[in-house]
Every structure is written in C-alpha cells, then in structure tokens.
Amino acid sequence: MNVIVAKNAGFCFGVRRAVEAVYKQLDRPGKVYTYGPIIHNPQVVEELKAKGVVIVEDLYHIEEGTIIIRSHGVPPHVYRLMKDKGLHVVDATCPYVKRVHNLVSKYHSKGYQIVIVGEKEHPEVIGINGWCGNSAFVINE
C-alpha cells in the first residue's frame, strides 16, 4: 500500500499562529477568552473550550482576563473597547488579514472607495469594513 502525504496538509500559517496563540495563554492566571471562535474548525474550538477557553461575541460582561482576537481580525473600535476595559489583549489576526486592514485604512484615508468581495456578515469582512468606517461596498459573491 502506497501512502501519499500532502506536502502542505493541515492549517495555513495564519490559522496555526492563532491556535498557538491561544495555547500560549492557557497557563496565564485568570480567564482566557476568544473574541468569537478563533478559527472555523469546530473540533479545535471544542478542544479549546474543554481546556477552559471561553468564546464571547461581545465584551460587555468581561471585566478582566485575557482576550484573544480571532484570526479573522476585528474593527478598530473592538481594539479600543478591549484596551479601555484593561484586558490583556493578544492579537491573533492573521498577518495577511492585518495587511488588508492596513491597506484599507490607508486607501480609505486617501479618499478611495473600498470594495470588499465576500459575505457581509462574515467576521473577516466585518473586520475589514471597520477599517474604512464601515463604508465599503460589500459584494457577496
């Protein structure tokens, strides 16, 4: 029997980085939260929950602890709210997504109209749109 192993099987760089960021925080004192599921993998999310990670969709009831920004990123106002609450913030946004945030912010500030192709309610699209004041045209492909 021949076994063929894919050269690039497993998580992409950004997802691997995000999951590793959560594991690094498990030994910290206090609660560890992720802002939304850290990635789109239910098995990994359930494993993290079993280790005590709490997934939250809003920050209003959190007063202390570590909050990890999911790989999809978040809009700027979420960063501000986390910092205003005094939470220990770990930004696990995929570097490629973060690059898009920076480009959107840069070109929006120069007066460009931003167009995003994707699902309007997807966390990554919500995050990107936040970097241009939620003014992007979102085209659902």
Catalytic residue selected from 20, 57, 124, 141? 124
Structure tokens at 26: 């498990």
- Assess whether 124 carries a catalytic annotation: yes
Which of 63, 78, 61, 68 is closest to 33 using CA atoms? Answer: 68
What is the dihedral sign for C-alpha 33, 23, 73, 40? negative
- Burial class of residue 1, CB neighbours in 10 A (0-12, 13-18, 19+): exposed
**Catalytic residue list:** 124
